[in-house]
Structure 1
C-alpha cells in the first residue's frame, strides 16, 4: 500500500494569511508541486532533474523572478 506524500512548505514562507505559497513533495522519481491554499486540487509533477535545474537557475539569478 502506497503512503500519502509528505507535502512541505518553505520555512521562509510568509505563514500569514496571504496564501501565496506552494508545497513540494518527493514522489517516486519526481517532485509534486501544489498550491498550499488549495491542497485538494490536482498537483503538478516535475522530474527531479528539471526541478534541480530550476533551482540552480533561480539561485544564480538567471531567471528574473
Structure 2
C-alpha cells in the first residue's frame, strides 16, 4: 500500500480532476474536486487548483465514503 508521500509525488493530469456533484448549488461556486490516482484519491479546492491538496489511500477513501453515506442515512 502506498504511503502519503508516494501519493503526493504523483503527477495528476488536469483532466483527472472531477468536480463534486454536490458543489456549487446555491453556495456561490464553492467546489471540491477529486482525482483518482494510483493507490488512492486526491482532493483540491477548484478555486485554488495550485494550492494544497489532500491525499487519501484507497482504504481511507473507502472509510470516508462509508462515513458520508452513514451520515446521509442518519446512522451517525
TM-score, normalized by the shorter chain, greater than 0.5: yes
- The equivalent of 1:26 in structure 2 is 36
> Greater strand share, 1 or 2?
1
In the TM superposition, what is the alpha-carbon distance from 1:38 to its structure 2 partner? Answer: 0.3
Which of 50, 55, 67 is the equivalent residue of 1:40? 50
Give me the CA root mean square deviation. Answer: 2.2
Q: Is the 8 A contact 1:19 1:36 kept in 2?
A: no
TM-score, length basis structure 2: 0.65
Query: Could you list the runs of 4 or more consecutive aligned residues of structure 1 that deviate by over 4 angstroms after TM superposition?
Result: none
Gaps of 5+ in 2: 1-10
* 1:56 is aligned to 2:46: no
- Aligned with 1:32: secondary structure? strand
- The equivalent of 2:13 in structure 1 is 4
TM-score, length basis structure 1: 0.74
